[in-house]
Structure 1
Amino acid sequence: MPTDARAVERPPASTAAAELTLRPATEADTEEIIRLVRTSLGEFWNVALKLPFDIHYWSWKHLDNTFGTSPCLVAEAGGKIVGVRVFMRWQWQLGGRHVQAVRALDTATHPEWRGKGIFSRLTLALVEEMRREGVSFVFNTPNNLSRPGYLKMGWSSMGRVSLWIRPLRPIRMLRTLLSKSPPAPAAGAAPGGSRIGDLFREPRLESFLQSLGEGDGKLRTPRTREYLQWRYGDIPGGIYDAAWDLDGSEGAVVIFRRKNRGALSERRFCEILVGPGSGSVKRARTLLRELMANTGVDYASAMAGSAREQRLLLRSGFLPAPRLGPILTVRPLNPLPGGVDPLDRSRWRFSLGDLELF
């Protein structure tokens, strides 16, 4: 999967540095960039579902993003692109203000050019470009191989963002975890049976999303129809599904997908949107209960961004699993409104869909 998964590279040799040119990517570079990513990281962005890293995926992710076109730099040598670095634009809501950010995602270096510092040079150059543009911060969830490199380049670790887990087949989970030869996860439903397209045609969705308001003064992704449509409805492969019960401020919406983790299968609740009305929590609990019944998966996962969401998950049978969540790293660039510190975990309100890799 084309994410921030490259290991730390050694400082560039002077001869290699002299041969390289860093420049902004153009539309004419797209096919060559895609070939480089596939050569470096593999053919598929979702291996389990055999979804290819192709022009459709690239366009959805980096051109059609509701927050804007992704800034992208390439390293060129001898007229060929040997490295690429992309930051995906993201927007966070802070009360009534919008905070511009970018997420450090896709990066690739040609196998013959690894170890020459291309990853670091491209990343730092794009960081400075974003600083000049006025972007507030860069964030990502790098793996254990690439995280040390980001920390050396000025990122700060904010620790793990806790997952909440509910076992659905605990006996099978235990046997699988203890087995030396665990069985393969059961096959999931093929893409194509999703109702998520119906959600975006639901006339009551707009009023429900407006009832969510400006949040509680924490950094949160603004849940607009346009964002949800792009993020979950338009993604190639149709991997997300949805369930809802809408009645103005009393409504609830759940967006979810299936994911395999080794030999275990997961029902991942990426968004659990709960209206401010007194009856909305009950509606959300009912949706979750129905979505966890007879699913054919081993466990369910979610994130809780507020005390209200934590109570909802607890009453739905979830427990926090802080050692399983992704490790968030942030590189501040420019001041946030009101002097809010993006390195203060208490000022964030995440959903699982904000931080999962895609």
Structure 2
Amino acid sequence: MIVKQASINDIPNIVELLKLSLGESVVGKSSTIWNFKHADNPFGSSHVLVATDDEKFVGVRALMKWNWQLGNDVWVAYRAVDTATHPDFQGKGVFKKLTLKALDDVQENQETFVFNTPNDKSRPGYLKMGWVVVDSLPIAIVPTILYIFLSFLRKKMLYSNQIQNEKLDELCKVHNNDLSEKKSIFTPKSATYLKWRFEENPMQKYKVVSTNDSYVAMYIKKRRFFKELRVVEVISSNESIHKKVIQNAIIDYAIQNRCWITTLSNKDLFPFRFFGKFGPKLTFKSLTKDTLFINKALDINNWKYSLGDLELF
């Protein structure tokens, strides 16, 4: 078996291997989606390894670049995402070999870390390779139906989906500076990032509403017996001042689409909500000797994340 770094010419074979190993899901597997995730990412191209046996593609492992910031220090990190093993080679250590090699590669010239939110089936494999569970993600669950009775009292708000990039970058700068001063671990936002992550995402249709002082991205998730509105990004120049505008944008869209439950990472945005560790488990693999950062990262309360930062896509 030969392990090598993937090239652009390998993408069709990678996509076919993903389909063969994982099957088709709600979101199809294609070169367009692969390039969106691993080539067009504003944080940089992913580190992708493939394994071949007699010229047949038998394994793939992708580490997607992702930036996190603490204070003024920006960490180039990696999120462990797409991985697949050919059915004929499962149970033969392909996943482990590719993952450990990828870790060695990204650690070689930098101090970094790897994170992800694996499901219960794949998490044990990561733990055996040195990942640790930080904690389950705290999430706010808002019973949107309670707000229907108050909706007629609210003044209708005007939003724009066409906020100019210059204004949006200014808004992101204020947002980033605020989190930097709070010494939280957060993903620094920019107009380029938001456009890539939410506005031009071929995998999921997001609803974006914005003003010059706030930006909200969300989507509808269909459950078995109800629809959930998942709020994946909230950016504001001053949340205490603009809270009502943000609340109204979310509630208006939830009511329009009959989403009786709304979920988001912000526990303070809605007064009537349940807040607890309802989300997936965040796992962390340190590739740095910076013990101060490691200790900070191992406490979930130090992460100021949006659901868009950590949800699978």
Q: Which amino acid aligns with 1:311?
A: D
Could you tell me which residue of structure 1 aligns to residue 17 of structure 2? 36
- CA drift of 1:311 comes to 2.3
Change (3 A) 1:269 1:132: same
Could you tell me which residue of structure 1 aligns to residue 152 of structure 2? none
Could you tell me which residue of structure 2 aligns to residue 22 of structure 1? 3
CA contact (8 A) 1:65 1:230 kept: yes
Matches within 5 A, 1:17-166: 20-44=1-25, 47=26, 51-166=27-142
Partners of 2:85 and 2:191 in 1: CA distance: 36
- CA drift of 1:158 comes to 1.1
Change (3 A) 1:332 1:259: same
Partners of 1:337 and 1:209 in 2: CA distance: 29
Change (3 A) 1:151 1:238: closer
The answer for unaligned runs of 5 or more in structure 2 is 147-158
Matches within 5 A, 1:172-251: 198-199=162-163, 201=164, 204-214=167-177, 215=179, 216-237=182-203, 239-246=205-212, 251=213
Could you tell me which residue of structure 2 aligns to residue 298 of structure 1? 260
TM-score (norm 1): 0.78
Partners of 1:339 and 1:73 in 2: CA distance: 28
CA contact (8 A) 1:252 1:281 kept: no
Look up the SS of the partner of 1:279 in the other structure.
Answer: helix
Q: CA RMSD in A?
A: 2.1
- CA drift of 1:202 comes to 5.8
- CA drift of 1:238 comes to 5.4
- CA drift of 1:290 comes to 2.2
CA contact (8 A) 2:171 2:236 kept: no
Matches within 5 A, 1:261-272: 261-272=223-234
Alignment partner of 1:351 is 2:306: yes
Cα deviations by residue, 1:99-118 (Å, 9 ceiling, x for unpaired): 11000000000111111010
CA contact (8 A) 1:136 1:335 kept: no
Matches within 5 A, 1:248-263: 251-263=213-225
% identical aligned pairs: 34
Could you tell me which residue of structure 1 aligns to residue 242 of structure 2? 280
Partners of 1:114 and 1:135 in 2: CA distance: 32
Change (3 A) 1:77 1:213: closer
Cα deviations by residue, 1:245-303 (Å, 9 ceiling, x for unpaired): 32xxxx22211011123443211000111223752223222323323323222311100
How many residues align? The count is 297
Look up the SS of the partner of 1:165 in the other structure.
Answer: strand
- CA drift of 1:334 comes to 1.2
The answer for unaligned runs of 5 or more in structure 1 is 1-19, 171-194, 305-309
Q: Which amino acid aligns with 1:159?
A: D
CA contact (8 A) 2:68 2:187 kept: yes
Could you tell me which residue of structure 2 aligns to residue 331 of structure 1? 285
- CA drift of 1:204 comes to 2.8
Look up the SS of the partner of 1:68 in the other structure.
Answer: coil
TM-score (norm 2): 0.88
Partners of 1:66 and 1:237 in 2: CA distance: 17
Change (3 A) 1:107 1:277: closer
Q: More helix per residue: 1 or 2?
A: 2
Partners of 1:327 and 1:155 in 2: CA distance: 12
Look up the SS of the partner of 2:108 in the other structure.
Answer: helix
